[in-house]
Each structure stands twice: as structure tokens, then as C-alpha cells.
Chain A
Amino acid sequence: MSVYVSKNGKVSLAVGDQPKDALLFAPSKKSSAQLVKEDLSAWKLSNSIIQERFAKATKR
């Protein structure tokens, strides 16, 4: 992902060495809402796998 720099009141792509007081940033690929959505899906899937596996392992 590209890194941007804000210096002298202008934002540009950060290339090469940057001054110490420059503001560097790179927007996140995903928002917290997307991360929560993905994590909740993974949580549900993981739970169902655990339950299924325990059911098989404890079957008599």
C-alpha cells in the first residue's frame, strides 16, 4: 500500500527520505466495521467446527 506524506501544507506520495517533522500516513485497507464483520463470521465458523468435532470425539 502507498504511503503518503504531508509536508509544506501539501499531501503527496512519500518517496525516499522524508523530513523528521513530516506527517506520514497510509489509510487502512479495512474499516473497523469490516474487521468486526469478518471476525464475527470467523468466530461463528470456528465455534461450529469445535462443536462438530467435540460431538464426533465424544460419541459413544
Chain B
Amino acid sequence: MAKTKIFISSVNEDGLKRLRKEAFTELRDLGHEPLMWEQNLGPWPANIDPVVKCLEAVDEADIFLLFIGNNGGTYYKDAQRTVTHMEFIKAYDKGKTILIFVDTTVKNIFFETVKRWMDEFLEQYISESHQHPSPEVILSALKQNPDIPNHIDAYVWFLLHDLTIRNVYLDDLSLGVRIDWKEYFSDLLRRGSMLLPLQHSIVENGRRLEQSEDAFRLLSELSLLMQTSEKPNYESILRAIMNKMSGGIIEQQYGQYMSEVIGSYKACIGATLYVNDNDKMKYVAKCADVAWNRSFRLDDQSSYVALTYNMNKDTVHYTQAKQMFYYCFKRGKYVLTLHFPSESDWDNRKYMIYQESVNDAIINKNPYLVEIIKMILGGMQP
């Protein structure tokens, strides 16, 4: 079973050494896999860049743990950040769980005086020079301010300011007081346990978002086609619709417990559009190489167009001879039919057993898309 990898980050300063070591030991004894420079990460051979290795270790970790005291750490001029800060940015960028402990004295000074001063300084600088100051400018201004304690490295304020901008929670760290890691990680487990059962809902919402995006894209395409000429270019409209209709799998549902894949259908290969004219369904347009008739009588029971118009229900028709599913729907006076080839293992017997699954697969695949198409059809004047 995979262990939780915890990257322990902090500036190498005397006040934090014991704390880091205790955290490493206790987290390891709790069954986790802590990663820390002086224990199991470095040092590396001279030709290896240690910053790159540390950032790789952050990337591999599940949790990023950072202790902040008085020192800012080694500043890299090229990056304009310290290593510790870059490690945090990597963890933030990769969406890791981030736990940050800040020395309570430092934290209090920051929130009581430094933060407000930095906010005002930045606002004034940007309004005067119309650009954001570089880290060097901010650090220099912090160092020159006599109201800000100079026994704390100016970079600590710069780092804390970045953390607050990113809305990262800062826990209190009282040097000399042991952190109860058991309690802390039990709370983390509680929080994680509350969120894990949401997986299905989040995945489902993602699926809905993709369906809505497809429908929105089709709407944009169709609205452009409708604007270009007085008479709609039916063939282009049908082609745009056809191109959005992908194939898919057909599944048999067994209640809410499970589903079984029983077959599939291919992407839409063509479409036809008919409009009602008295006792007939008159051909309007088609796209791609699909069969069509000039018209069908409304009482023609061999025509899926006439049948759909009379039933006024979304319907999937099937013929074994043509190995084809016909998804037909009516809107106003129109009937639109989309042609989906079935896979070769479908026959009449299989369709009769699984017709509900076929309807589910084709009609339910993206009802948002179908509703958009119906809206467009509803707005067209015969």
C-alpha cells in the first residue's frame, strides 16, 4: 500500500533544526514517508543541481510541510526567489496539500504591522510607476523601514505576503512546544475522508461540463450559419450537427449497482431533415451519402420520418439489413434524423432485448446538444 510522502521544507536555521528532526522521526514512526534534505534527500554529486532535485521531490510528495522562522534562506538571483519559496510555489502549482507553520512572534508582527505596510507600499508603487515592483525593490524597501524589526530577514515578510495573497492557511508555531502530529494527521484524515466520497459527484459534474461545452460550441457554429444568409444553409447546419455526434458504447444497467457493456455504435455518418406540408413530410436537406425520398405520406408506416412526426417522441429506429440506428426527433414541423452505424454484432434479436440500453446510449449521450438542435429547428421558418 502506498505511503503518504511528506516533503519537510524550511530554511536551515538553528531554531528549527530540532523541530524538523522531531517531525521527521514522528511522521516516519506514524507510518508515513517523510522526505527531508538532511535525512534522506541530499546531498547529491557535484554535477547535480540540488534545487532541481528538491523541486522534483516536492513534485513526488503528497503533502508539503513548511516551517517558517526568522531566516529567509538562500536567495537565487536568477529566480528572484529563495529555494524554500520555490519549493512552496512548486507544491502550490501542483495542487499539493500544504501545511505551513509560522513562528507565532513572526506571524504576529507580520499581521499587526508588516502586511498593511507592504499592501500600502505596493499600491503606491503601482499607482506611481504603473508596474509591480521587483522582489529586490520590495526587499530593499523592507530593509530601509525602521519600523520593521531587522532581526527577521526581510525575505520572510516577502514570503509571508505571497502566502497570504494565495490564501494559504498559516498555523502557529511556538518554538519549544511540540507539535502533536498524531492529532494533526488525524484531523487531516477526517478532512480527506469527508471529501473522498465526493469523487463520483465531481466526475459526473465534469462530464456535464463537457456536455455543456459541446452544446455551447454547436450553438456558436449554428448561430453563425443562421446569420450568413436569409435562407438557412440547411446542408451546412446538418453537417455541423453530424460532426458533433460521436459514437459510443451501449451499456445494460443493473439498477444502481453495475453496468455491462453490451455493444457500441459508430459516429454519425449523415443526417436528413424533413418538414411537414399538409399530409406529407417533405424533404428539406441532407448531408453526406444517406438515402432520401422527395416526400413521405404522413400515414406511411414504413417511414421512420412519418412515424416520428406522428408519435412526437424522440425515437431510435433500427434495421438489421442496413446495420444502422436512426435517431429521429421532431421539433415544430421538422423531423431530423441522424444516422449511426451499429457495430456488426447487432441484429434484430439483440436490439429487441437491449432496446432500452440503445435509447439510453444514443438519446442520453448528450441531451444538452439535442436541446440546442431542437431550439435551432424551432426557430427556423419552413
Specify which chain B residues have a CB less than 8 angstroms from the CB of A3 in the assembled complex: 351-352, 355
Mark out the residues of chain A between 1 and 58 whose CB falls within 8 Å of any chain B CB in the assembled complex. Answer: 1, 3, 6-7, 9-11, 14, 17-18, 20-33, 35-36, 39, 42-43, 46-47, 49-50, 53-54, 56-58
Contact flags (1/0) for B299-336 with A, using CB distance below 8 Å? 01110100100010111111111000000010000000
- In whole Å, how far is A11's beta carbon from the nearest beta carbon of chain B? 5
With A20-B321, A57-B191 as contacts: A25 and B307 at CB distance below 8 Å: yes
Give the distance in Å from the alpha carbon of A57 to the alpha carbon of B193 in the complex.
9
Q: Which of B190, B198, B348 has the most CB of A within 10 A?
A: B348
With A46-B205, A54-B195 as contacts: A35 and B315 at CB distance below 8 Å: no
Describe A's contact surface by its main secondary structure. Answer: mixed
Specify which chain A residues have a CB less than 8 angstroms from the CB of B311 in the assembled complex: 27
- In whole Å, how far is B261's beta carbon from the nearest beta carbon of chain A? 20
With A3-B351, A28-B314, A43-B205 as contacts: A53 and B198 at CB distance below 8 Å: yes
Contact flags (1/0) for B348-382 with A, using CB distance below 8 Å? 11011001100100011001101100100000000
Specify which chain A residues have a CB less than 8 angstroms from the CB of B349 in the assembled complex: 17
Contact of B363 with A23 in the complex, beta carbons under 8 Å? no
Specify which chain B residues have a CB less than 8 angstroms from the CB of A39 in the assembled complex: 208, 367-368
Contact of B316 with A17 in the complex, beta carbons under 8 Å? no
Contact of A18 with B348 in the complex, beta carbons under 8 Å? yes
B292 sits at the interface (CB 8 A): no
Describe B's contact surface by its main secondary structure. Answer: helix
Instruction: From A1, A6, A17, A20, give the contact of B356 (CB < 8 A).
Output: A1
Contact of A53 with B367 in the complex, beta carbons under 8 Å? no
Contact of A6 with B195 in the complex, beta carbons under 8 Å? no
Give the distance in Å from the alpha carbon of A9 to the alpha carbon of B355 in the complex.
22
Contact of B374 with A32 in the complex, beta carbons under 8 Å? yes
B76 sits at the interface (CB 8 A): no
With A9-B301, A24-B318 as contacts: A36 and B201 at CB distance below 8 Å: no
Contact of A56 with B194 in the complex, beta carbons under 8 Å? yes
Specify which chain A residues have a CB less than 8 angstroms from the CB of B1 in the assembled complex: none
- In whole Å, how far is B51's beta carbon from the nearest beta carbon of chain A? 31
Interface residues, chain A, CB within 8 Å of chain B? 1, 3, 6-7, 9-11, 14, 17-18, 20-33, 35-36, 39, 42-43, 46-47, 49-50, 53-54, 56-58, 60
